[in-house]
Structure 1
Amino acid sequence: MARRLLLMHAHPDDEAINTGVTMARYAADGAQVTLLTCTLGELGEVLVPELEGLAAERGDQLGGYRIGELSAAMAALGVTDHRFLGGAARWRDSGMMGTPGNDDPRAFWRCSRDAAAFDLAVEQAVAVIREVRPQVLVTYDEIGGYGHPDHIMTHRVAMAAAERAAQPEGAGEPWAIAKIYWCAVPKSVLQRGIDALRESGGVGFDGVERAEDLPFGNDDDQITTAIDGRAFSAAKQDAMRAHATQISVDGPFFALSNNVGLEVLGTEYFRLARGELAGERDENGRERDLFAGIDA
């Protein structure tokens, strides 16, 4: 069976943080892995001092620069098919909820109140689905993991596109996606990471000492699937380093890799939103393979 995996993410770097080892594992196993990124991340904070002039409030060239970062990250993960929804810069980073970036004419979040814009974004995603014909789609949950408007909109567009792509209307042959997963992180895993950082003299994530106080994370019983990608942890770290304007090598991700080894970064977790759980389960009763139960 030719396995085809489509991942929809909001900004460059989201794919490496949330699904880096999953992408690397399936690419190495010979699956077709396609990344569809919805914006260029133009409003991201620039962490490299000599590149601060790229920021939106200055040169507003960060989005173009991040195309190169994403290409380098994909090379690290072994992924050759990466695209932008509607083409590069069709949809602009909306910024955090309630900020002026939400109102930009090209802001992806504009799709939340402009029916024509939403329909266009869905059609653009449908075109990719019908071309790639993935058996598995990975995206975010209803709150986009932590409430970022572009993550929420990515979820809405992805789910609507999956529905529409299976219908007979429109250009291209209909395609029904067998399994849809939402990215997830168990709170127990977050807590182990926080504890490890604190024990090594750190202060956890932004000073937070309890996973319950973070704006992201899932109750453990929500997790249906765990992908063991420990063999690809180095590739994930290289992909994150490629997003240098957004991820600091001194940040919590790399501290975690030093303090708790492969446990936190080497396994990625998901919630099955559509389809049937199948195949072997791990010691926690979680599915081990996104493609389990898919025959063709």
Structure 2
Amino acid sequence: MTVNGGLLCVHAHPDDEALWTGGVLARYAEAGVRTGVVTCTWTEGTRRVEELRRSLAILGAGEPRLLGYADAGTNESGEDDRFVEADVDEAVGRLVGHIREFRPDVVVTYDAFGGYGHPDHVRAHRVTLAAVEAAAYEQLYPDAGEPWRVRTLYLVTVPSTVVRAEWEKVFGAPPEPGQVLPGTPDEQVTTTVDVRPWADRKWEAFQAHESEAERGAGPAMFAGLPDEERDRLLGTEWYIRRDLAAPRSSDLFAENGVA
């Protein structure tokens, strides 16, 4: 990744920022890049947002930026409707406001399956794709700030071969027959980032989400692994790149080498 104006990640829940993008957040913050995270669910005054604040401090990603919606799992997590049931146009407008205020060159969110199919993650993917496009148009959401064009969108994912190889180590059992697995075909993954130098910081940020560990989720799933195995799993992050500011052309196929 080449980032000048800043890196903004959009995640569904507190703890996702650490697990999915903790490495790149720590890496680029250390390099002097402005980094930030928008979290679609949970709100100020809840334990999970306080944990998010500690995680972001560890990763160097500033203060929480919240859309304010409720988690699909509990209505007590947000001020408004559950994110998966919220008005899409309203949600896009809220995210446009964050994009225009932060003015990033790069935005990161999940792949189309939401990483692993969670409905909040899938909704975050769809809302983010709409928001990065809408943020550039002065005609859309005029009250959300001055227009801003994001240069590059990255979709965080895991290659299918890695999912199949590591599934049993993480979950303690092989996939169920017929179970739909997450993952992107390896040939569609465009960007592989070695974040091993920041794996300890990523793990520390993940562990800040103590409420998730207490219920056996999030960091609890990795806590029982040997340190070497956990560092290996957390030491690489994979992305699908989508360029939003491509060179001008008079041929729809010229840039793909078809013309």
TM-score interval (norm. to shorter): 0.7 to 0.9
Letter paired with 1:91: Y
Aligned residue runs from structure 1 range 130-169, under 5 A: 130-169=100-139
- Partner residue in 2 for 1:80: 62
**Worse-matched range after superposition: 213-222 or 172-181:** 213-222
- 1:237 paired to 2:210: no
TM-score w.r.t. length of structure 2: 0.80
Letter in 1 for 2:147: P
Q: Give the aligned partner of residue 39 of structure 1.
A: 41
The question of 1:208 aligning with 2:186 is answered: no
Structure 2 residue corresponding to 1:190, chosen from 163, 172, 177: 163
Distance of 2:203 and 2:96 partners within structure 1: 31
Distance (Å, rounded) in 1 between the aligned partners of 2:185 and 2:225: 21
Cα RMSD (Å): 2.9
Aligned ranges 1:118-137 → 2 under 5 Å: 118-137=88-107
Cα gap change, 1:36/1:257 in structure 2, threshold over 3 Å: closer, same or farther? farther
Residues 127 and 250 from structure 1, CA distance in 2 versus in 1: closer, same or farther, beyond 3 angstroms? closer
Please name the residue that 1:220 is paired with. Answer: 186
**Distance between the aligned counterparts of 1:94 and 1:251, measured in 2?**
21
Runs of 5+ unmatched residues, structure 2: 247-259
CA–CA distance in structure 2, aligned partners of residues 63 and 222 of structure 1: 40
Shift in Å, 1:122: 0.9
State the match for 1:93 in structure 2: 71
The CA deviation at 1:273 is 2.9
Name the aligned partner's letter for residue 69 of structure 1: E
Q: Which residue of 2 is the match for residue 267 of structure 1?
A: 236
Q: Which position in structure 1 is the counterpart of 2:154?
A: 181
Identity between Structure 1 and Structure 2 (%): 37
Paired positions, count: 236
Task: Tell me by how many angstroms 1:153 deviates.
Answer: 1.2
Which 5+ residue runs of structure 1 have no aligned equivalent? 42-61, 112-116, 198-203, 278-296
Q: Deviations over 1:235-282 (max 9, x none)?
A: 1110111111113598442344524363321111111133489xxxxx
The aligned amino acid for 1:217 is G
Alpha carbons 2:42, 2:48 under 8 Å: kept? yes
